Chain A
Amino acid sequence: MNLTDLQQGKTAVVSDVTKLNDIVKQRLIDMGLVEGQEICLKCAMPFGGPVMVEVCGQCLSLRRKEASRIGVS
């Protein structure tokens, strides 16, 4: 399953970031979003807007399209 399948407020573990666009992947790695890390879906903006997630005690925002390429388990 991927990050967007996660229920709001629920936590999972990142299992796959290889399908991401290169720039986005690099940015997320820099911010600590890597495989094996716990991730929590905080909220999602309406009309297919970006999602807000929490990784390593800090919040990030990324587009839903990209979020759907992040595998979690």
Chain B
Amino acid sequence: MSQFALLGNPNTGKTSLFNHLTGSYAYVGNWSGVTIEKKVGKLRHQTDLLVDLPGIYSLNPLSKDEEVVTEFLLTDEFEKILNIVDASQLKRNLQLTIQLIEFGKPLIVGLNMVDVAQSRGIQINEKKLSDILGVRVVPIIARTGKGCDLLTKELTSDTRKKSPGTPTFKVDYGFLEEIIEQMSELFPDDVNLNKRWMAVQYLEGNKRVISYVSQHMPNTALLEQIKQEVEEELVKRGYAHSLRQFIYHMRDKNITHLLEQTTIVTSSTKTTTTDMIDRVVTNKFLGLPIFLFFMYVVFMLTFDWLGTPLSDVLDGFMSGPLTTWTENGLHVIGASKFIKDLVLNGIIAGVGGVLVFVPQIFIMFFLISFLEDSGYMARVAMVMDRIMESIGLNGKAFIPMIIGFGCNVPGIMAARTIEQPKERLLTILLTPLMSCSARLPVYALFVGAFFVNHRALVVLSLYVLGIVVAMVMARIFSFLFLKKEKSVFVIELPPYRVPQALTLWRSTWEKGKGFIRKAGTFIFAGSVLIWLLTYAGPHGWNVEMDDSFLAFIGGVLAPIFEPLGFGTWQAAASLLTGFLAKEVVVSTMNIIYHAPDTASLTGVLSTQYSALSALSFMSFILLYIPCLATVATIRKETASKKWTYVSVIYSLVIAYIISLVIYQIGGLFF
């Protein structure tokens, strides 16, 4: 069994290729850096493994996700590199290929999007390219899977033979060559890496490589001195402004020469579809309204036009046939009253009450995937940048937040693409304020009870509330401790692509399955526990609900929520359990109020809450605390206990204040 590494520039169809080669369900997107973790998949019909790494422009890392790649090359074990290259952007893509060739491991180039290149009038002679580079070049179309079989064959065959296709192409760095050789001799022999590659990376200023070298060498002062002297010499002779620029330039010269021999460009200037779409969606005045319109459509589809009717059908099935069948089944096998109660009032009410919202959540995930895959997300970052800049962030921070609408966990992980550490931290702290799909069942329940005629509007305003609070907090946080760092913003705008059905379905399923799995594990266990806590009390089993343990626990906390308009033990108990996962709030309420279906639960709720206290409660749910999984992710991503506590505590405080304001001020008017 061997391990291969898949590397390439962002937006070259890397993750699509990964999906075709491995048949695994990795998450696919179309904005810079959508692959945020190292993902490993098994090659189809093979035992070998393929590692999908984040998209990079060069091996010199600028952001957290790029660091992953350099780290991988330096420390992980693998046989071969599969370098995916965008045929329509060869000049830029080959910069990375050259660095990978210098790395010295066997390399195979997957020349992707040959169809796109052709339509732009670019003809590539792969055979010649392959000969000059000294590596196998396989033309592919990753979106359709064309050429993938050949690629797999190439990947797996050579490893057992003697010559594994180690590349021969060499860039001549001119007067640096002497220096490179001199440095190579200084590197210790116990390092298992190509020394020429190390020297070039060192000169380029690759921080990770420099720190790697200093770990393996007692004294790097001489290396530093050589580097400095040669840089001064460069500037003096007027070759370049820096070593980095010089190295880039030398590579570029080689690439240009290479392309002259291997490509024929016939026509290059014509208006593409991307140009036409961009004229509208990134229009000076229309850009922002169009984005808001898209978001409005997303919400209407999720809540009004499509999601709610589907959820109603599912609810009817759960509370009708399913409950009857289970009841009959339990009766036939002669289950005790305890078991019957547990299954019907605990599990079906709790788990079923959450599963009802699966259609809405899948629609939401589907639409977010669609926006991601189409290439529109990067435009959103651009359109939003001016607003984000005013709160001390950049437009890229908006993408984790939109992903956070689906689920906060991947949203927080997506913040890795932000270059500046403090901006990234700030984005991590704010993403939980984005209303994730798990909060949606709670809203759906309450708007169904109190705001039937304005469902989408009320829910949309909650999402907006989350965004507004995030913006205000961003301002406060950046004023308090992020003053010094400069915010930067550069983003690539990939061409628009019509998302493929298969890719869309996979990424929707990938995101949505977590929700279903949660229903089977967390929520199942939570429901049983909650039901037991309502079933048992200080005075024995099968007690009245108001005498149960849950009522007792909730009762202790209830007075705190009195000023917010929901000072009942039921509300307090469901908020407490909601920390596990926010949709558990709905499970808890189903169990507490003994509601067989959503319709009867909304009936009970309308006697327990007023429209105003419902609004206050929903706002509290939106803001009060990130769920358990999110808190764990924050802890992992920030690697700091302090910031984890900060994120939990500030959100509790904010939630209390906002709900208090809503209930108390709202009370003056209604």
A residues at B contact (CB < 8 Å): 18, 21, 23-24, 26-32, 34, 42-50, 52, 56-63, 66
The answer to whether B489 touches A50 (Cβ under 8 A) is yes
Residues of A within 8 A of B285 (CB): 46
The answer to whether A62 touches B490 (Cβ under 8 A) is yes
Bound-state Cα–Cα, A49 to B491, Å? 14
| Secondary structure of the A contact surface, majority rule | mixed
Q: Answer whether residue B167 sits at the interface, using C-beta atoms and an 8 A cutoff.
A: no
The answer to whether A18 touches B492 (Cβ under 8 A) is no
The answer to whether A52 touches B382 (Cβ under 8 A) is yes
The answer to whether A45 touches B489 (Cβ under 8 A) is no
Residues of A within 8 A of B58 (CB): 30
Residue of B nearest to A45 (CB): B386
Q: Answer whether residue B105 sits at the interface, using C-beta atoms and an 8 A cutoff.
A: no
Return the CB mask of B167-195 against A: 1 if under 8 Å, else 0: 00000000000000000000000000000
Of A29, A57, A62, which one neighbours B248 at CB under 8 angstroms?
Answer: A29
The answer to whether A59 touches B386 (Cβ under 8 A) is no
The answer to whether A56 touches B395 (Cβ under 8 A) is no
Bound-state Cα–Cα, A73 to B245, Å? 20
Within the complex, what minimum Cβ distance (angstroms) separates B383 from chain A?
Answer: 7
Q: Answer whether residue B88 sits at the interface, using C-beta atoms and an 8 A cutoff.
A: yes
Of B57, B383, B493, which one neighbours A30 at CB under 8 angstroms?
Answer: B57
The answer to whether A48 touches B386 (Cβ under 8 A) is yes
Number of A-B contacts defined by CB within 8 Å: 109
Q: Answer whether residue B219 sits at the interface, using C-beta atoms and an 8 A cutoff.
A: no
Q: Answer whether residue B307 sits at the interface, using C-beta atoms and an 8 A cutoff.
A: no
Bound-state Cα–Cα, A53 to B287, Å? 16
Counting chain A CB atoms within 10 Å of each CB, the highest count among B89, B95, B268, B493 belongs to B493
Bound-state Cα–Cα, A31 to B114, Å? 20
Of B60, B89, B385, which one neighbours A57 at CB under 8 angstroms?
Answer: B89
Bound-state Cα–Cα, A61 to B382, Å? 7
- Given the interface pairs A23-B62, A50-B395, the reply to whether A43 lies near B283 with Cβ below 8 Å is yes
Bound-state Cα–Cα, A61 to B489, Å? 8
The answer to whether A21 touches B486 (Cβ under 8 A) is yes
Within the complex, what minimum Cβ distance (angstroms) separates B199 from chain A?
Answer: 20
The answer to whether A45 touches B383 (Cβ under 8 A) is yes
The answer to whether A60 touches B492 (Cβ under 8 A) is yes
Beyond A57-B89, A59-B274, A62-B490, 8 additional contacts (C-beta under 8 Å) are A21-B488, A26-B60, A30-B57, A42-B278, A49-B386, A50-B385, A52-B382, A58-B495
The answer to whether A34 touches B252 (Cβ under 8 A) is yes
Q: Answer whether residue B419 sits at the interface, using C-beta atoms and an 8 A cutoff.
A: yes
The answer to whether A58 touches B89 (Cβ under 8 A) is yes
The answer to whether B245 touches A58 (Cβ under 8 A) is no
Q: Answer whether residue B594 sits at the interface, using C-beta atoms and an 8 A cutoff.
A: no
Going nearest first, the 7 A-B pairs with the smallest beta carbon separation are A30-B57, A49-B386, A59-B493, A61-B382, A27-B490, A32-B92, A50-B385
The answer to whether A27 touches B252 (Cβ under 8 A) is no
B:255-274 near A, CB below 8 Å: 268, 274
Within the complex, what minimum Cβ distance (angstroms) separates B375 from chain A?
Answer: 10
Counting chain B CB atoms within 10 Å of each CB, the highest count among A31, A48, A66 belongs to A31
Q: Answer whether residue B237 sits at the interface, using C-beta atoms and an 8 A cutoff.
A: no
The answer to whether A26 touches B62 (Cβ under 8 A) is yes
B:567-609 near A, CB below 8 Å: none
The answer to whether B92 touches A52 (Cβ under 8 A) is no
Residues of A within 8 A of B245 (CB): 29, 34
Residues of A within 8 A of B475 (CB): none
The answer to whether A50 touches B88 (Cβ under 8 A) is no
Residues of B within 8 A of A43 (CB): 278-279, 282-284
The answer to whether B120 touches A27 (Cβ under 8 A) is no
Q: Answer whether residue B389 sits at the interface, using C-beta atoms and an 8 A cutoff.
A: yes
The answer to whether A61 touches B385 (Cβ under 8 A) is yes
Residues of B within 8 A of A34 (CB): 245, 248-249, 252
Residues of B within 8 A of A57 (CB): 88-89, 120, 268
- Given the interface pairs A23-B488, A46-B386, A61-B489, the reply to whether A52 lies near B62 with Cβ below 8 Å is no
Residues of B within 8 A of A24 (CB): 488, 490
Within the complex, what minimum Cβ distance (angstroms) separates B629 from chain A?
Answer: 32
Residues of A within 8 A of B495 (CB): 58
Residues of B within 8 A of A56 (CB): 89, 91-92
Counting chain B CB atoms within 10 Å of each CB, the highest count among A26, A28, A48 belongs to A26
Residue of B nearest to A18 (CB): B241
Bound-state Cα–Cα, A29 to B91, Å? 12
Counting chain B CB atoms within 10 Å of each CB, the highest count among A21, A56, A63 belongs to A63
Residues of A within 8 A of B88 (CB): 57
18 inter-chain pairs at a CB distance below 8 angstroms, sorted by A residue, are A21-B488, A23-B62, A24-B490, A27-B419, A27-B488, A29-B245, A30-B95, A31-B492, A34-B249, A42-B282, A43-B284, A45-B382, A52-B282, A56-B92, A57-B88, A59-B278, A60-B491, A61-B381
Residue of B nearest to A28 (CB): B490
Return the CB mask of B87-107 against A: 1 if under 8 Å, else 0: 011011001000000000000
Residues of B within 8 A of A48 (CB): 386
Bound-state Cα–Cα, A49 to B386, Å? 5
Within the complex, what minimum Cβ distance (angstroms) separates A8 from chain B?
Answer: 9
